[in-house]
């Protein structure tokens, strides 16, 4: 008889054999996430939960899991989980940092370049049969090399984006937590948020979603940006107010935006944002390289198994549970 019961909320690109040696594992087989009520029901009888950012793991659910020993999230961000509630129950929460840093920075860079040089519009125009000849003034975009980049949040992914920007000889500003060591090694300059908005040609968001960053990009922020600026968001959708973004893009307060994350997700097909030519939207695929997703799955299983065995999680977001 297995010692533990585990619920995994989606099929993963991972070998579950080692986990199955110590636990009875149930994997949710559908493409859509398990409904909240079903997750609640499952949580009543499990020792370990492996969840995704699409699962709402709130206080009620955590308190329902009376035998729950570990929550392991397949993502670096964990704003879908009530960490305080888990900590109150001394349940460690695992996540998957580092392995997705470069993949996500690459994708932010891909979006920045695609928006600056109007790659998606070019593809649409070509498919619509509108490529008639070489023209001096068609689809003119923004210059990337030598421009000023504003990074909101210089964590692991923000730093990886800064390293890419160096290759493009950009002036790099950042806001968030100040780090003098990084200012020297990455040649980045700390500035207040308003100054970053005023001076940046490109603004890229790499901050977690918190009460402070919720709708950080609203009417006020857009009004302070350059009219030629391009916004890139690969962090969390709710950092940008979608109605304010629509106003900014239609009024010309900023030139363009590229979003890999939206509020809500998925973006409703009827969203007025999807009618805009100067917006690129992708379906939250920042970390979606094959290797990265495999490493994330391995890491999430390692966190889960450590938690079941009563060992310290290799990557724990609430280490205070061990005090
Ligand atoms: C994806 O958005 C993640 O947080 O890993």
Residues 81 and 212 reside in one and the same domain: no
Three-class secondary structure of residue 22 per DSSP:
helix
Residues 124 and 167 reside in one and the same domain: yes
pLDDT band at 303 (very low <50, low <70, confident <90, very high): very high
User: Is 246 in the active site?
Assistant: no
Task: Please tell me the predicted confidence (pLDDT) of residue 2.
Answer: 78
Would the pTM of this model clear 0.95, i.e. be above it?
Answer: yes
CA–centroid distance, residue 288 to ligand 1 (Å)? 10
Report the pLDDT averaged over residues 125-145: 98
Residues 87 and 116 reside in one and the same domain: no
Q: Is the pLDDT of residue 12 over 90?
A: yes
Report the pLDDT averaged over residues 148-165: 98
Residues 264 and 187 reside in one and the same domain: yes
Task: Please tell me the predicted confidence (pLDDT) of residue 59.
Answer: 98
Closest C-alpha residue for ligand 1 atom 3 = 75
CA–centroid distance, residue 209 to ligand 1 (Å)? 11
Report the pLDDT averaged over residues 243-269: 98
CA–centroid distance, residue 77 to ligand 1 (Å)? 5
Residues 88 and 138 reside in one and the same domain: no
| CA gap 122, 120 in Å, rounded | 5
Residues 13 and 44 reside in one and the same domain: yes
How many structural domains are present in the chain? 2
User: What is the domain extent for residue 45?
Assistant: 4-99+290-322
Residues 55 and 121 reside in one and the same domain: no
For 191-229, write each residue's pLDDT tens digit. Answer: 999 999 999 999 999 999 999 999 999 999 999 999 999
Closest C-alpha residue for ligand 1 atom 1 = 75
| CA gap 45, 161 in Å, rounded | 42
High-pLDDT (> 70) share of the chain, %: 100
The CATH number of the domain holding residue 195 is: 3.40.50.720
Task: Please tell me the predicted confidence (pLDDT) of residue 1.
Answer: 59
CB-CB neighbours of 275 under 10 Å = 10
| CA gap 107, 31 in Å, rounded | 23
Closest C-alpha residue for ligand 1 atom 4 = 77
Closest C-alpha residue for ligand 1 atom 5 = 75
Asked if 142 and 230 count as a contact pair (C-beta separation under 8 A), the reply is yes
Residues 156 and 207 reside in one and the same domain: yes
Measured CA distances, 301 to 23, 34, 138, 250 (Å): 12, 19, 50, 45
If we measure between CA atoms, which residue out of 117, 234, 103, 120 comes closest to residue 164? 103
Residues 76 and 140 reside in one and the same domain: no
| CA gap 63, 61 in Å, rounded | 5
The ligand 1 atom at the shortest distance from the C-alpha of residue 74 is 5
Residue 211 has which token pair? 């009460």
User: Is 60 in the active site?
Assistant: no
High-pLDDT (> 90) share of the chain, %: 99
Q: Is the pLDDT of residue 230 over 80?
A: yes
Backbone angles phi, psi at 257, to 5 degrees: -145, 155
| Helix/strand/coil percent split, the chain, to 5 | 40, 15, 45
Residue 222 has which token pair? 């857009």
Residues 39 and 113 reside in one and the same domain: no
User: Is 284 in the active site?
Assistant: yes
Measured CA distances, 23 to 2, 31, 91, 205, 249 (Å): 5, 24, 18, 39, 51
Three-class secondary structure of residue 104 per DSSP:
helix
For 31-51, write each residue's pLDDT tens digit. Answer: 999 999 999 999 999 999 999
Residues 21 and 111 reside in one and the same domain: no
Ligand 1 site residues, Cβ closer than 6 angstroms: 53, 75-77, 100, 286-287
Task: Please tell me the predicted confidence (pLDDT) of residue 100.
Answer: 98
Report the pLDDT averaged over residues 151-178: 98
Q: Which of 26, 41, 265, 277 is catalytic?
A: 265
The mean pLDDT of the chain is 98
Residue 210 has which token pair? 């918190």
Report the pLDDT averaged over residues 159-178: 98
Residues 94 and 107 reside in one and the same domain: no
Report the pLDDT averaged over residues 272-276: 98
| CA gap 42, 83 in Å, rounded | 19
């Amino acid at each position: 008889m297995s010692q533990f019961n585990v619920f995994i909320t989606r099929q993963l690109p991972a070998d579950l054999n080692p986990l199955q040696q110590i636990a009875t594992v149930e994997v949710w087989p559908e493409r859509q996430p398990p409904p909240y009520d079903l997750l609640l029901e499952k949580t009543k009888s499990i020792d370990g939960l492996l969840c995704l950012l699409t699962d709402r793991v709130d206080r009620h659910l955590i308190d329902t899991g009376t035998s729950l020993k570990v929550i392991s999230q397949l993502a670096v961000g964990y704003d879908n989980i009530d960490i305080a509630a888990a900590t109150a129950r001394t349940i460690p929460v695992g996540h998957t940092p580092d392995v997705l840093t470069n993949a996500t920075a690459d994708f932010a860079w891909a979006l920045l370049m695609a928006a600056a040089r109007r790659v998606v519009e070019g593809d649409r125009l070509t498919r619509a049969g509108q490529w008639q000849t070489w023209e001096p003034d068609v689809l003119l975009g923004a210059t990337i090399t030598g421009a000023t980049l504003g990074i909101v949040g210089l964590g692991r992914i923000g730093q990886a984006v800064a390293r890419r920007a160096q290759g493009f000889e950009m002036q790099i500003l950042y806001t968030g937590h100040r780090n003098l060591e990084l200012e020297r090694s990455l040649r980045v300059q700390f500035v207040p948020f308003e100054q970053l908005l005023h001076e940046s040609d490109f603004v890229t968001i790499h901050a977690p979603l918190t009460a402070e960053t919720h709708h950080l990009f609203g009417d006020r922020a857009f009004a302070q940006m350059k009219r030629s600026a391009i916004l890139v968001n690969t962090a969390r959708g709710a950092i940008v107010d979608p109605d304010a973004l629509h106003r900014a893009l239609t009024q010309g307060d900023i030139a363009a935006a590229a979003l890999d994350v939206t509020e809500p997700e998925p973006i409703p097909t009827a969203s007025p944002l999807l009618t805009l030519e100067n917006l690129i939207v992708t379906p939250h695929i920042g970390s979606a390289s094959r290797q990265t997703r495999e490493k994330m799955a391995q890491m999430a299983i390692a966190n889960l198994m450590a938690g079941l065995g009563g060992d310290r999680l290799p990557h724990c977001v609430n280490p205070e549970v061990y005090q």
